[in-house]
Chains A and B, each alone.
Chain A
Amino acid sequence: MAINVRIPQPLRNLTGNQSTVSAGGETLLACIAHLDSSYPGIRERVMDEAGQIRRFVNVYINGDDVRFMDGLATPLKDGDEVSIVPAVAGGA
């Protein structure tokens, strides 16, 4: 199982500035756990204390928002692309 994960600018300090990293996992939750074991700290940036995806962070699997699928339980397959996209307010 190889999942490509797109890391947004604000989280790249955790991935050694890599914009894309590889991870495993049968579900999104397992993928995030796997990511966190390789790049500690990612989990808490994406998920809150209650174990839910933070409301200002969107996670997409192949361009689809997981909030409109099965959230963290959404299954993953080999070659899927996961994108983590936080809200950004900058305009100035």
Chain B
Amino acid sequence: MSVNVYIPTPFRHLVGNRTNVHANGGTVRDVLRDLDSQFPGFQAQLVDSSGELARHINIYVNQVEIENLQGETTQLKDGDEVAVIPALAGGAPTVMTPEMVDRYSRHLIMPQVGSAGQRKIIEASVLIIGAGGLGSPVALYLALAGVGKIGIVDFDVVDRSNLQRQILHQTADIGKAKVQSAKETLLAHNPNINVVTHEMPITSDNAFEIISQYDIVVNGADNFATRYLVNDASYLLKKPLVDGSILMFDGQATTYIPGKGCYRCLYPAPPPPGMVPSCAEAGVLGAMCATIGSIQATEVLKLVLEIGEPLVNRLLLYDALSLEYRIVKVRRDPECPLCGDNPTIHELIDYEQFCGSPIGHIG
């Protein structure tokens, strides 16, 4: 088997300063042996005093760390890419414990995720607006995936009428702060993560401070004022915003990347109060939350992993009754007051006044 081996900078002096070299062997161990015969002294750089592969060296086959394959006995085939990566002193690498390797094994086995991708997930920080119908499945799936820092903003307490759809909360949680109930549920599912609770309404006064602590924002708000506020703050801080909304049997989802359109490009102004009912007024099928929330969680993970095509410039429309998904185009509006060619919004405004309705419940 002839494989291509990527040589990192610290070892290039051993191989004539080349970035890639060819080596032969049926397993990783054979390839390392072949490299040492081609480039004497190579293997000595990789092993510790007992002759085992040193712990600061990771070897990847087609982007999957061999710890997640069969170690040094991992079989190779012609054309495989092998990379030898030492931990560098600048910045501690994320350490995956054996428990984590086991827990995330269904991610690790996929070449699109692998060890490198799972580390990106572990190092990611995501803010979820609202621990309600959408926030529940989003938070749960991101926690299970191992997102290292999950922030949740909500100032509400758990009500019995939430339990028909808000899977973060259970009957015994009635009366408890939603962020607290959410944190307990998420940590019970995955103790490896950090859950940060923001038990307060998100407002023009605190939005920048809260959102700036995270890489990606997920909207699960239940009112227009919060949706415009989160849109504006995320855009002004240049954070991707994964949006979703539900009502009765209909759902919508899209992803806003700063500079490629925003919520104001899609809907320039909110409806007058009372024109479009809320979930509390018109109802929502509980299972709808999982459909749209799962799409939002998937979008977050795609952004973190930098894989696939995000739902950017596209609005997904889901009609549960006819069971149809449709996609319509979302364009950046050159006239948009926030992200257009001549923006007039440079700071957060009074969103309750803009929408003619209070921020109220957010999730």
Q: Which of B130, B133, B276, B319 contacts A88 (CB 8 A)?
A: B276
Q: Complex Cα distance A58/B276, Å?
A: 13
Interface centre among A20, A58, A67, A90 (most CB of B within 10 A): A90
Q: Complex Cα distance A68/B313, Å?
A: 13
A-contacting 9-mer, from B22-30, B102-110, B187-195, B244-252:
B244-252
Q: Which of A6, A87, A92 contacts B279 (CB 8 A)?
A: A92
Quick check: is A86 within 8 A (CB to CB) of the other chain?
Answer: yes
Interface size on B, residues (CB 8 A): 52
Quick check: is B13 within 8 A (CB to CB) of the other chain?
Answer: no
Quick check: is A26 within 8 A (CB to CB) of the other chain?
Answer: no
By a CB distance below 8 angstroms, the chain B residues around A19 are: 319, 321-322
Q: Complex Cα distance A9/B246, Å?
A: 11
The smallest C-beta distance from B157 to any residue of chain A, in angstroms, reads 13
A56 touches B271 (CB 8 A): yes
The smallest C-beta distance from A1 to any residue of chain B, in angstroms, reads 22
Q: Provided the pairs A63-B329, A65-B329, A86-B271 are in contact, do residues A91 and B276 lie with their beta carbons within 8 angstroms? A: no
The smallest C-beta distance from B21 to any residue of chain A, in angstroms, reads 50
Interface size on A, residues (CB 8 A): 25
A88 touches B222 (CB 8 A): no
A-contacting 9-mer, from B54-62, B92-100, B205-213, B262-270:
B262-270
Q: Provided the pairs A9-B249, A56-B275, A85-B317 are in contact, do residues A92 and B222 lie with their beta carbons within 8 angstroms? A: yes
* Interchain Cβ contacts within 8 Å, total number: 113
Q: Provided the pairs A55-B268, A87-B267 are in contact, do residues A9 and B329 lie with their beta carbons within 8 angstroms? A: no
Q: Complex Cα distance A20/B227, Å?
A: 29
By a CB distance below 8 angstroms, the chain A residues around B223 are: 89
A92 touches B322 (CB 8 A): no
A87 touches B315 (CB 8 A): no
Q: Residue on A with the closest CB to B281?
A: A90
A91 touches B328 (CB 8 A): no
Quick check: is B220 within 8 A (CB to CB) of the other chain?
Answer: yes
Q: Complex Cα distance A9/B247, Å?
A: 8
Q: Provided the pairs A56-B271, A64-B329, A65-B328 are in contact, do residues A91 and B266 lie with their beta carbons within 8 angstroms? A: no
A87 touches B284 (CB 8 A): no
- Complex interface bits, A37-58 against B, C-beta within 8 A gives 1, otherwise 0: 0000000000000000011101
B222 touches A89 (CB 8 A): yes
In the complex, chain B residues 59-91 whose Cβ is within 8 Å of any chain A Cβ: none
A87 touches B222 (CB 8 A): no
By a CB distance below 8 angstroms, the chain B residues around A63 are: 326-329
A91 touches B271 (CB 8 A): no
B278 touches A90 (CB 8 A): yes
The smallest C-beta distance from A43 to any residue of chain B, in angstroms, reads 15
The chain A residues found within 8 Å of chain B, CB to CB, are 6, 8-10, 19-20, 54-56, 58, 60, 63-65, 67-68, 83, 85-92
The chain B residues found within 8 Å of chain A, CB to CB, are 129-130, 132-135, 162, 166, 219-224, 227, 244-250, 252, 266-271, 275-280, 282, 284, 315, 317, 319, 321-322, 326-331, 333, 361-363
Can you add 6 more A-B contacts, CB < 8 Å, to A60-B328, A88-B250, A91-B220? Answer: A56-B275, A83-B317, A87-B245, A91-B130, A91-B135, A92-B363
A-B pairs with the 6 shortest C-beta distances? A92-B132, A55-B269, A92-B222, A90-B279, A56-B271, A87-B267
